[in-house]
Structure 1
């Protein structure tokens, strides 16, 4: 293999250096596959029961408040208790909610309201779990391998996102919603077994109990860092204006290609996987803020183009390019977060990160559903994409520190790197500290 080709391939250093990273990677792949199977079946079942774009878009509304509340609390919880326990308990609870979906789907006439209740419950559990997962990464992976770890994690996510929706679309079409939900139950059962093998990840001995004051301390830190604010703002804008997943069933119908629904959900992941498989060059990037801006702008432009074309294959190509742009932006965000945030605040900042990359899609679902009901499905795509492009350009202009961020010279990145090298970071203290009791 030539050196040029080797430089493009993913950097596997985190996989070789960390057992917990390998466990989380495999566990995440299985859990993502199950989650995406339900992600396709749930909105499609609501569509079948109501035939209303607004009813499907309302999923975003019922998921929003639990995500905000539990995301913030989950961030404070991740700084105060064993992060492994949080991941294990929430993963088991997600499996139980999948059982509820399965039982409801087996009824002679499935009920509508449990679908919204489960959607809200999944959002709450995701808000509790994601800060623990995200904050754990900076502890189990060496500092200089964080970009490589982000690329491998994104590759894992996208592999699940490709296989899950594509197969779920076929399963729902030929075997029904219940079979898709049954697949989800099995995947979460396996995921829980893998989580049991993770090493304990106790908090530092001086960790604060979850409280409003602790949450506020994390928010003040984020507000005082323009680079962090930029990553949050760009992602919120991109997802709010150009997150079209909730109206994919209506786009497939509008194009006369109902068979393409699973492919629409999977297309973005195909683009992301292609970028992941050629991500070796990203380990050498220092200006990660530029990845955030250019990736989000590319996402918006590609979503707008998807709304202009009437050929389903061109639409799928556009969605694949959108996924590549989102992947590029996500690599930049994840690297900046892990390079600059001190471990004692990592959980609380991860809670804010959950809001930044989850609230946007939830609000985006509501916007897309309402816009599609008002102007039609395809205008909802291209108007949102253009609004995304304009908002990202505006944010880049008013937040220049994000654009000029340099991993070698940024003060917070240098401080974090020095702490890891000197062994003075909070995770080093945690190894010898007794585990605090659950509040």
Structure 2
């Protein structure tokens, strides 16, 4: 790869050189696209049943609590067992949750409490699935290809967000909520087949430890590695304050008046910017001031979200552009955060540190849904979104002062800077 292609396009070498990574990548692409149907349908279904943004925000609580309580244990399990077999189990569990959503919605027995319960059950399986998947991916490629693999993973996440969300809006309007759930069930078959056909490299035999000691070891490593503490804390704070997804049904219905198709576009626009950033990620290989780039990207995210909050029905197109900018910046941040994590952490601790990272990465936006819904109920939806964006920017300055190592961090080659 040379010239402008090297600067813009992602490095496809991991897909060419590793059959197992290629299988995992393709399976995730299909499965995540299907899961995005559910992630759009579920909040919309609850909003239709209640008319309350606060009720939609409660989805985040039922997702966050199992993730926060169980992700660390999921990381311990991912470090102790065959990760491929564990992924097969989690795919079956997640498919069963989507099947329950499809059946209860199709038969008309779905209620808000039942939807919350199914959300929590799905989050329990995700607490196992996420650290296992994140720990497995970098072991399928050579160390020199980890950054490229992280960029390619970002590409499929954002592709799924764009096309899954846009498709969800169309399907909900044409086929109803149950149709979206049924397609999500079908998408898990692709992920299961891909994982089934993978071959994973042998792992070094790790010393078996009591669960509590194993957990403490992972937390202690995070505390000693200041750059990881900075990137994870920043991501949590930024997504806690700057995640307005719970208010999208309100904005689509009451502000922009665009219906379910427009709601799907709101979700999809988040992925458009992030997909562009991930696809045109070749330049990231040449960035040495990775910590400073993360700080700048998160600041852009917060500013774009704050501006989105003040728009009205005349500026729906601008709303889509701002969400695209916000999530493009977040994708850049995510590439560098993922690269730092996967290169700094030894494989023996990778499951636990990925689990901790997932607690921050998923816990922040899920709790942020509740935060935005609660602030909207107590104040106003506009006040919730704008204040959240401002708080996101403030978090950038707070982390830069609290953990200045992130400002000085240049690349994973400068490992002396990474650990305190």
Q: Contact between 2:5 and 2:282, CA under 8 Å: does it hold in 1?
A: no
Is 1:403 the equivalent of 2:407?
yes
Residues in 1 aligned to 2:279 and 2:206: alpha-carbon distance in whole angstroms: 41
Q: Could you tell me how far 1:408 is from its partner in structure 2?
A: 2.2
Q: Contact between 2:292 and 2:406, CA under 8 Å: does it hold in 1?
A: yes
Aligned to 1:204, the other structure's residue is in SS state: coil
Identify which range, 346-355 or 107-116, moves more after superposition.
107-116
Residues in 1 aligned to 2:265 and 2:79: alpha-carbon distance in whole angstroms: 39
Change (3 A) 1:4 1:410: same
- Which structure 2 residue ranges, 5 or more long, are not aligned? none
Change (3 A) 1:265 1:210: farther
Q: Contact between 1:82 and 1:201, CA under 8 Å: does it hold in 2?
A: no
Corresponding residue number in structure 2 for 1:286: 288
Aligned to 1:196, the other structure's residue is in SS state: helix
Residues in 1 aligned to 2:209 and 2:203: alpha-carbon distance in whole angstroms: 10
Q: Contact between 1:80 and 1:210, CA under 8 Å: does it hold in 2?
A: no
Corresponding residue number in structure 1 for 2:214: 214
CA RMSD of aligned residues (A): 1.7
Residues in 2 aligned to 1:281 and 1:374: alpha-carbon distance in whole angstroms: 44
Offset from partner CA, 1:388-433 (integer Å, 9 cap, x none): 001111111221111211322223879xxxxxxxxxxxxxxxxxxx
Q: Could you tell me how far 1:149 is from its partner in structure 2?
A: 1.0
Aligned to 1:256, the other structure's residue is in SS state: coil
Residues in 2 aligned to 1:64 and 1:6: alpha-carbon distance in whole angstroms: 39
Residues in 1 aligned to 2:356 and 2:112: alpha-carbon distance in whole angstroms: 31
Q: Could you tell me how far 1:5 is from its partner in structure 2?
A: 4.0
Q: Contact between 1:80 and 1:207, CA under 8 Å: does it hold in 2?
A: no
Residues in 2 aligned to 1:239 and 1:163: alpha-carbon distance in whole angstroms: 22
Change (3 A) 1:3 1:200: closer
Is 1:243 the equivalent of 2:243?
yes
Corresponding residue number in structure 2 for 1:137: 137
Aligned to 2:11, the other structure's residue is in SS state: coil
Q: Contact between 2:274 and 2:324, CA under 8 Å: does it hold in 1?
A: yes
Corresponding residue number in structure 2 for 1:225: 225
Q: Could you tell me how far 1:209 is from its partner in structure 2?
A: 5.1
Q: Could you tell me how far 1:145 is from its partner in structure 2?
A: 1.5
When the two structures are superposed, what TM-score results if normalisation uses the length of structure 1?
0.91
When the two structures are superposed, what TM-score results if normalisation uses the length of structure 2?
0.95
Identify which range, 209-218 or 171-180, moves more after superposition.
209-218
Residues in 1 aligned to 2:106 and 2:210: alpha-carbon distance in whole angstroms: 40
Is 1:329 the equivalent of 2:313?
no
Identify which range, 132-141 or 299-308, moves more after superposition.
132-141
Corresponding residue number in structure 1 for 2:317: 313
Offset from partner CA, 1:133-180 (integer Å, 9 cap, x none): 111122112222221111111011111111111111111122111100
Residues in 2 aligned to 1:152 and 1:297: alpha-carbon distance in whole angstroms: 24
Identify which range, 134-143 or 380-389, moves more after superposition.
134-143
Change (3 A) 1:210 1:287: farther
Q: Could you tell me how far 1:309 is from its partner in structure 2?
A: 2.1
Residues in 2 aligned to 1:55 and 1:409: alpha-carbon distance in whole angstroms: 46
Superposition pairs for residues 424-439 of structure 1, below 5 Å?
A: none
Offset from partner CA, 1:366-400 (integer Å, 9 cap, x none): 01111112222222111100110011111112211
Is 1:257 the equivalent of 2:262?
no
Identify which range, 21-30 or 256-265, moves more after superposition.
256-265
Aligned to 2:409, the other structure's residue is in SS state: coil
Q: Could you tell me how far 1:201 is from its partner in structure 2?
A: 5.2
Superposition pairs for residues 90-239 of structure 1, below 5 Å?
A: 90-200=90-200, 203-208=203-208, 211-239=211-239
- Which structure 1 residue ranges, 5 or more long, are not aligned? 415-439
Offset from partner CA, 1:225-263 (integer Å, 9 cap, x none): 110100111000100100011110001122222241001
Residues in 1 aligned to 2:84 and 2:372: alpha-carbon distance in whole angstroms: 36
Residues in 2 aligned to 1:333 and 1:315: alpha-carbon distance in whole angstroms: 27
Aligned residues: 414
